[in-house]
Amino acid sequence: MSQLAFLSGNEAVAEAVRLCRPKVVAAYPITPQTVVVEALAGMVESGRLESEFVHVESEHSALALVMGAAATGVRTFTATSSQGLLYMAECLYYASGGRFPLVMMNANRALALPWNIYGDQSDSLALISAGWIQAYAETAQESLDMIIQAYAVAEDPAVRTPVLVNLDGFVLTHTYEAVSLPEPSEVDDFLPPPVFPDDYPGTFDLARPQSLAITAGPGDYAVFKARQHWAMCQAAKHIRTTAHAFRAAFGRGCTGLVEGYRSEDAEFILITLGSTAGTVRVVIDELRASGQSVGLIRLRYLRPFPTDELNDALFGAERTVAVRALGVLEKDISFGHQGSVALEVKAALYDRGAGVPVRNFVAGLGGQDVSRAHLADCFTELAATLDTAARVASGVRFVGLKDLVDDHDQEPA
C-alpha cells in the first residue's frame, strides 16, 4: 500500500525517480534543483536505488551522458534548471532528434542577467521548440505522478520522445505537502522494465551493429523532422491513455493535458500553468462568492500543445456560459512581443476563438510574489478589456509592477 509522506516538490521528484529505477543518473548542481541530485546521490549510496550515479562536469555533459547510456538501452535520469538548461540547449535538440526516451526534471528559474535564483518560467519556455514533451506540475503530488508517467510516455515505442517535467522554482521545489508515495512494486507493475528489450528501436545491438545519431542531407532531414513532429503530436494520445492507466492503478490524477476549475460557467477565464494555479483557485472561490463569473484553465502540458482540448474547454458543447474574455498568466516574457504562453494560446485559438479578447499577464518574474490581490486585479482587468479591447488585447500587463516603480505603464502607445 502507498503511504503518506511529507515532501517538498524536489523530494517528491527524487522519490519518484527512485521508484522508476533508472540505471544511470547524471546531474550537475544548480539552485533550486540541487536537492534532487543530493537526494538521489544519497539513495544510490545507501542502496535504496541501484543505479550508476555519475558526477559530471557540466549540464552539457549530464545530458550527453544520459543519451549515451540510453543508447545502450537503459532508463536514465537527469535534472537541471535555468542557466543549466540553456547550457544543455544543443543536447536538448540532439536528444529529441535522436529519439532518446529520456526524462529530465527542470526547476523553473529566472535567467541571468541580472542573476536571480528564484522561480520563473523563462528557461523552459525558451526551449519550447526543442522537441521535448513539456509538462508543468502544480503540486508535489503531481510532480511525483508526472515523473512516473513521463517514463511510460517517453519509452513508449510509438513515442520515443524525451520528457521535461517542470516544477516552479522554490514555490514548488521547496514547498512541503503530504504526498502519497506508491510502493515500489506498484510502480514496477505500471512501468516497463528499466532495461529495454533487445529489439527496442534506436539503441545499440551487439548482434546487428547500429549507427545512431546520424547525419541526413537536405531531402532525408526533412523526413526525419516531419516524423519527429508527428510522433510528438501522437504523444498527446499516449499522455492521456497513460494518465487513465495511472488513475486506474493509483486512484488519482488528472487525465487531460489541460485542467479546468469552475471554468464551464465562467465568462472570464485565466489560463495559467504550474504552481500559480493553486492561488488562482483560491481567488476564484473568493470572487465567485461575490458573484463574479470567473474560472481557471491550467495547461499541464505545453508540448504537445493541447490545441483541441483547450478549444473544447473554452468553446465546446459542455459549456453553459460563453467566454467573454481570457487572460494568460505566465512567468515569462518574449522580449519585444508577449509572453511565450500567450503566443501559444493565441495561435491555438485562432480558428475557433475569434472575437474573444486575450490579455497577457506577465507575473512572478525572478520570484516576484504573485498575490491574491494581483490575481483579483487580473480578473478586474479582464472585465475591463470588453470596453477597450483593441488597445489592451495586444498589450502585455506586468502584474504588480506598479507596486515597485512609477513608470510601470511605460509601454509606448
Partner 1 sequence: MITIKNLPEPEYFVGHKACGGCGGSLVVRWTLKVLGERCIAVIPAGCMSAVGFIYPQMALGVNAMIAPFAATGAVLSGVARGLKARGIEDVTVVGFAGDGATADIGLQALSGAFDRRERMLYICYDNEAYMNTGIQKSGATPFGARTTTSPGGYRPETDAPKKDLIRIAAAHGIPYAATASVGYANDFLKKVQKAAQVEGPSFLHVFAPCPTGWGCDADSTVRLGKSVVDTGLWPLVEWENGAVRLNRNPARFAPLETYTGEQARFRRLTAADLADLEATRDRQWRALRAWVRESAGM
Contact footprint for partner 1 (CB under 8 A): 23-24, 26, 51-52, 54-58, 60-62, 64-74, 76, 90-91, 94, 98, 195, 204-206, 209-217, 220, 224
> Which residues have CB under 8 Å from 398's CB, separation 6+?
362, 363, 365, 408
Output the DSSP codes for 19-42.
HH--SEEEE---TTTHHHHHHHHH
Q: How far is the CB of 69 from partner 1 (least distance, A)?
A: 4
**Which set of grid coordinates corresponds to residue 281?**
483557485
How far is the C-alpha of 98 from the C-alpha of 152, rounded, in Å?
A: 18
Element housing 2 (H / E): none
- Indicate the residue among 9 and 98 with the shorter CB distance to partner 1: 98
By beta-carbon proximity to partner 1, the closer residue of 52 and 186 is 52
**Nearest distance, CB of residue 19 and partner 1, angstroms:** 17
Cβ distance 269 to 295 under 8 Å?
yes
Q: State which H helix or E strand residue 344 sits in.
A: helix 340-349
CA distance between the termini of the chain: 60
Kindly list the distances between the CA atom of residue 411 and the CA atoms of 57, 303, 391, 392, in Å, as whole numbers in the listed order: 43, 31, 12, 11
Which is closer to partner 1, CB of 102 or CB of 243? 102
CB 301 → partner 1: shortest distance, Å?
27
Report in angstroms how near the CB of residue 401 gets to partner 1 at its nearest.
40
Choose between 88 and 148: whose C-beta lies nearer to partner 1: 88
Judged by beta carbon, residue 68 or residue 278, the one nearer partner 1 is 68
Q: Name the minimum Å distance from CB 63 to partner 1.
A: 8
Q: Which is nearer to partner 1, 195 or 226 (CB)?
A: 195
Q: Give the shortest CB-61-to-partner 1 separation in angstroms.
A: 4
Q: What is the DSSP string of 364-400?
A: -GGG----HHHHHHHHHHHHHTTTSHHHHHH-EEETT
- How many other β-carbons are positioned within 10 Å of the β-carbon of residue 261? 18
Query: Distance between CA 328 and CA 273 in Å, rounded?
Result: 9
For 170, the enclosing helix (H) or strand (E) is: none
Closest to partner 1 by CB, 66 or 392: 66
CB of 125 to partner 1, least distance (A): 23
